[in-house]
Amino acid sequence: MMDGAMDEIGVTETYKPIVKLNPVQPKNFLIDPAANAVDDALGCAIDEYVSRHIVEELQEQGIYKDEEFVGEAASEEEIEFDLSVDSKPKDRIRLTKYYGKVPRDYLIAEGVEEDEIGEPGHYVEAIVVLGNESTVLKAIPSPYMCQDRPVVAFQWDVVPSIFWGRGVCEKGYMSQKALDAELRARIDALALTTHPMMAVDATRIPRGHKLEVRPGRMLLTNGAPQEALMPFNFGNLNAITFEQGNQLQQMVSQATGAGDAQQANMNDVTAAGQSMSQGGVMKRQKRTLVNFQENFLLPFVKKAAFRYMQFNPEEYPIGDYNFIPFSSLGAMAREYEVAQLSQILQVIPPDSPAHGAVLKGIIDHLNVSNREELIAAIEAGSQPDPAAQQAQQEQQQMQMAITQGQIQLLNAQASESSARGQKYGVEAQMIPQELSLKYADTDGDGKADDRDFEKRIRMAELMLKERQVEGKERVEMEGAKAKAEAELVKQLTAEAPTGPPTGPQHQG
């Protein structure tokens, strides 16, 4: 408010395209009979009734040609929305939107310039809109960047060489007809067996008496009533019709995908049988989901992305994108996976890193209010305690230092034993020479006497053998001791940890 007057400041309008889905009934969709897909057909059309004001607004905006419609559109039961309505709506126009190939001459005859038709050839991908089957409201070449048609068709059950495929109602049609016939027969038989009837002897009823059975009614008979009147029925209802109806209902559920035929007997089978039954249901749902995303979801997302990139490139930059769909699991699929994860959890030890991952997967599938809190608690419990981890590392370092000291001590002792063995071997070799020199001069005259030389030689040889035996025993003892020390070192090295702890640590 400025000086008592209202002013608009900074009011702007921005055009932003929005891509939406418009469902079309199969009876309002027309396509080339020989086509197997929308893009393979010569063309396809959407033929339906719309209100007159919609066409007039588009004419005012310049989207449709300014053609005048006189009278009402003729009623056609094949494209009516609801045939049960007796009074048809008034003031409507039959609008036919055609997407497909059109001869070049037809577009030129409708005022399209030759330069605007960039596609060479006899046929041109175009959009043509007809009003009341005769008036051309719009005829232009396809304005879309990829020259694709803005129509997405989806078949619940794919049938080769048939565009329409097989729908849910078609799959359960015959089973539903049999179920209706069974129930109708049961209802008819129920009326005959439930309501009581009377068998009457006509000769014992007074003339002109109207026989009716109702509470408080007086019945006149000529003679004893028990002889003239008798309750009568056509027998009991056959119980097998109920079981047949149940079986037909299961057939309808199985055909339409609403359930599986084996679910009725799931309480009578083992766990393996229940798993097989649920596996069949999961396979059916997964196949339907894959069919849906491959034939409907991904094509629609691509077409919508192309429209946004073409008509709003500032916010949606042009690029070659690859879309990957992600979907959530249904209640039955979630329960099935939780059961499988629970079986896996039974064979995983609690101290294993995989135990926490499987437990998180189970909680993630549960529909509980504090699911995030439980997952956060599991993650916090799997994280190691810094103080305990540091103390454990210090203890391991101390143990490693003690082990290394013991290894060095044992290596030094082994080296000392080896040196001592070498010393003993040299001494054993020097003793015979020393004896020979010592006992060579027996008379002390400084000259060697050869008379007892051979005796001294034998004595030296005996002493040498004795020294060799003693040295060999010492070497064997030292070797056994070194071997025992090496075995002890090996055992200590194997028992000592070699690195920091790994995996989750839990404080009890």
134 and 202, same domain (yes or no): no
Number of domains in the chain: 3
| Per-position b or e across 128-165, b if 16+ CB within 10 A of its CB | bbbbbeeebbbbbbbebeeebbbbbbebbeeeeeebeb
Q: Do the Cβ atoms of 308 and 316 come closer than 8 Å?
A: yes
Q: What pLDDT, on the 0 to 100 scale, is given for residue 447?
A: 53
Query: At 508, is the pLDDT very low, low, confident or very high (cuts 50, 70, 90)?
Result: very low
Question: What tens digit of pLDDT does each residue of 87-140 get?
Answer: 677 778 888 999 999 998 888 888 888 777 877 778 888 999 988 888 888 888
Q: What pLDDT, on the 0 to 100 scale, is given for residue 264?
A: 45
DSSP letters along 369-404, please?
Answer: TTHHHHHHHHHHHHSPPHHHHHHHHHHHHHHHHHHH
Neighbours of 501 (CB within 10 A): 13
127 and 50, same domain (yes or no): yes
Q: What pLDDT, on the 0 to 100 scale, is given for residue 329?
A: 59
Q: What are phi and psi of 135, to 5 degrees?
A: -95, 125
Share of the chain residues as helix, strand and coil, in percent rounded to the nearest 5: 50, 10, 40
In a domain, 58, yes or no: yes
40 and 130, same domain (yes or no): yes
Question: What tens digit of pLDDT does each residue of 389-398 get?
Answer: 778 788 888 8
Q: Do the Cβ atoms of 95 and 129 come closer than 8 Å?
A: yes
Q: Which two tokens stand for residue 361?
A: 């997967």
Half-sphere CA count of 218, side-chain side, radius 13 A: 2
146 and 226, same domain (yes or no): no
Q: Which two tokens stand for residue 374?
A: 């439980």
In a domain, 127, yes or no: yes
Rounded mean pLDDT of the chain? 76
Q: For residue 31, what are the β-bridge partners?
A: 44
Is 90 exceeded by the pLDDT of residue 417? no
Provide mean pLDDT across the span 393-406.
84
> Residue 100, by phi and psi: left (phi above 0), alpha (psi -120 to 50) or beta?
left
Is residue 51 within a helix (H) or strand (E), and if so which, with residue range? strand 43-51
Identity of the residue numbered 466: E
Q: Which of 69, 67, 58 is nearest to 93 (CA)?
A: 69
Q: Which range (405-419, 430-444, 450-464) has the least confidence?
A: 430-444
Q: What pLDDT, on the 0 to 100 scale, is given for residue 337?
A: 76
Question: What tens digit of pLDDT does each residue of 288-342 get?
Answer: 778 888 888 889 999 999 999 998 888 888 888 888 877 665 666 677 777 778 8
* Range list of H helices, 61-123: 104-109
Q: Which of 9-18, 233-242, 395-404 has the highest mean pLDDT?
A: 395-404
Is 60 exceeded by the pLDDT of residue 441? no
Q: For residue 126, what are the β-bridge partners?
A: 100, 141
Question: What tens digit of pLDDT does each residue of 445-467 get?
Answer: 555 555 555 666 677 677 777 77
Q: What pLDDT, on the 0 to 100 scale, is given for residue 91?
A: 79
Q: Which of 143-152, 432-441, 489-498 has the highest mean pLDDT?
A: 143-152
In a domain, 291, yes or no: no
Question: What tens digit of pLDDT does each residue of 115-124 get?
Answer: 778 777 788 8
Q: What pLDDT, on the 0 to 100 scale, is given for residue 97?
A: 93
Q: Which two tokens stand for residue 145?
A: 């960047």
Q: What pLDDT, on the 0 to 100 scale, is given for residue 45?
A: 92
200 and 232, same domain (yes or no): yes
In a domain, 201, yes or no: yes
Q: Do the Cβ atoms of 146 and 306 come closer than 8 Å?
A: yes
Q: Which of 477, 504, 377 is nearest to 420 (CA)?
A: 477
- Alpha carbon 151 to its chain's center: 28
Q: What pLDDT, on the 0 to 100 scale, is given for residue 121?
A: 79
Q: What pLDDT, on the 0 to 100 scale, is given for residue 282?
A: 62
Verdict on whether the full-model pTM lies above 0.85: no
47 and 116, same domain (yes or no): yes
In a domain, 507, yes or no: no
Question: What tens digit of pLDDT does each residue of 471-490 get?
Answer: 777 777 777 777 776 776 66
103 and 141, same domain (yes or no): yes
∠ CA 180-184-190 to the nearest 5 degrees? 145
Q: Which two tokens stand for residue 163?
A: 């565009």
Q: What are phi and psi of 109, to 5 degrees?
A: -65, -25
Where in the sequence is the domain holding 100, given as residue range(s)?
26-151
Q: Which of 92, 121, 151 is the last residue of a domain?
A: 151
In a domain, 14, yes or no: no
Q: What pLDDT, on the 0 to 100 scale, is given for residue 204?
A: 86
Distance CA 154, CA 490 (A): 71
484 and 393, same domain (yes or no): yes
67 and 144, same domain (yes or no): yes
In a domain, 488, yes or no: yes
Q: Which of 268, 299, 318 is the last residue of a domain?
A: 268
Q: What pLDDT, on the 0 to 100 scale, is given for residue 230?
A: 84
118 and 176, same domain (yes or no): no
Using CA atoms of 337, 342, 343, 344 in order, give the dihedral in degrees to the nearest 10: 90
Question: What tens digit of pLDDT does each residue of 195-230 get?
Answer: 778 888 888 888 888 877 778 888 888 888 888 888
Q: What pLDDT, on the 0 to 100 scale, is given for residue 272?
A: 54
438 and 466, same domain (yes or no): yes
Q: What pLDDT, on the 0 to 100 scale, is given for residue 501?
A: 47
Burial label for 115, CB within 10 Å (0-12, 13-18, 19+), is: exposed
Q: What is the share, in percent, of the chain residues with pLDDT greater than 70?
A: 75
Per the model's pLDDT, the better-predicted residue between 382 and 413 turns out to be 413
Q: Which of 91, 120, 151 is the last residue of a domain?
A: 151
In a domain, 274, yes or no: no
Q: Do the Cβ atoms of 252 and 179 come closer than 8 Å?
A: yes
What DSSP character marks residue 176? H
The two counts, helices (H) then strands (E), for the chain are 13, 7
Q: What pLDDT, on the 0 to 100 scale, is given for residue 29?
A: 92
480 and 419, same domain (yes or no): yes
Distance CA 32, CA 508 (A): 73
Q: Which of 118, 121, 129 is nearest to 103 (CA)?
A: 121
How far is CA 198 from each of CA 204, 220, 234, 320, rounded to the nearest angstrom? 14, 14, 11, 83
| First-residue to last-residue Cα distance in the chain | 69
